Amino acid sequence: MEGARNFADQALAMGHSVEITCLDSPHSPWLRDSSQHINAIGAGRFANFGYSRHLDLWLTQNIRRFDAVLVNGIWMYFGIAVRRAAVRANVPYFVFTHGALDPWFKHKYPLKQIKKQVYWSLFEHKVLRDAAAVLFTTDEERIVSDKAFWPYVCNAKVVGYGIGDPFISKPRLEDRSEARQRLNLALPQLGDRKFVLFLARVHEKKGVDLLFQAIAKNNPTLQEHVFLIAGPGDPAYITNLKGTAERLGLENRVIWAGALYDDLKWAAIAEAEAYVLPSHQENFGISVAEALACGVPVLITNKVNIWREIVAEGGGFVDNDDVSGVSNLLERWSSLLPEQRSAMRTHARTCFLNHFEITKTSIELFKTIEQTHAPKSSERLSECVS
Note the pLDDT of residue 378: 47
C-beta atoms surrounding 106 within 10 Å: 16
Contact 227, 252 (CB under 8 A): no
Q: Which domains does the chain have, with CATH numbers?
A: 2-162+358-385 (3.40.50.2000), 166-356 (3.40.50.2000)
- Tell how many helices (H) and how many strands (E) occur in the chain: 18, 13
Note the pLDDT of residue 172: 61
pTM: 0.85
C-beta atoms surrounding 63 within 10 Å: 22
Cα(125)–Cα(128) distance, rounded to whole angstroms? 5
Cα(227)–Cα(221) distance, rounded to whole angstroms? 14
Q: What angle do CA 60, 63, 66 make, to 5 degrees?
A: 170
Task: Give the β-pairing of 254-258 and 274-277.
Answer: unpaired
Note the pLDDT of residue 376: 46
Sorted by sequence, the CB contacts under 8 Å of residue 152 that are 6+ apart come out as 125, 128, 145, 146
Contact 272, 291 (CB under 8 A): yes
Note the pLDDT of residue 374: 46
What is the mean pLDDT for each group of 10 consecutive residues in the chain (386 residues)? Answer: 75 87 88 83 87 96 96 95 97 94 84 92 97 93 89 93 84 71 91 94 96 88 88 96 96 94 92 97 93 97 95 98 96 95 97 92 87 57 60
Cα(195)–Cα(253) distance, rounded to whole angstroms? 9
Note the pLDDT of residue 174: 63
Note the pLDDT of residue 103: 84
Note the residue count of the chain. 386
Sorted by sequence, the CB contacts under 8 Å of residue 242 that are 6+ apart come out as 256
Task: Sort residue 381 into left (φ over 0), alpha (ψ -120 to 50) or beta.
Answer: beta
Cα(28)–Cα(380) distance, rounded to whole angstroms? 25
- SS3 of 327-359: the string is HHHHHHHHCCCHHHHHHHHHHHHHHHHHHHEHH
Helix ranges restricted to H, the chain: 2-13, 29-32, 53-62, 77-89, 103-108, 110-119, 125-129, 139-145, 166-169, 176-186, 208-217, 235-247, 262-271, 286-293, 307-313, 323-334, 338-351, 358-372
Contact 65, 379 (CB under 8 A): no
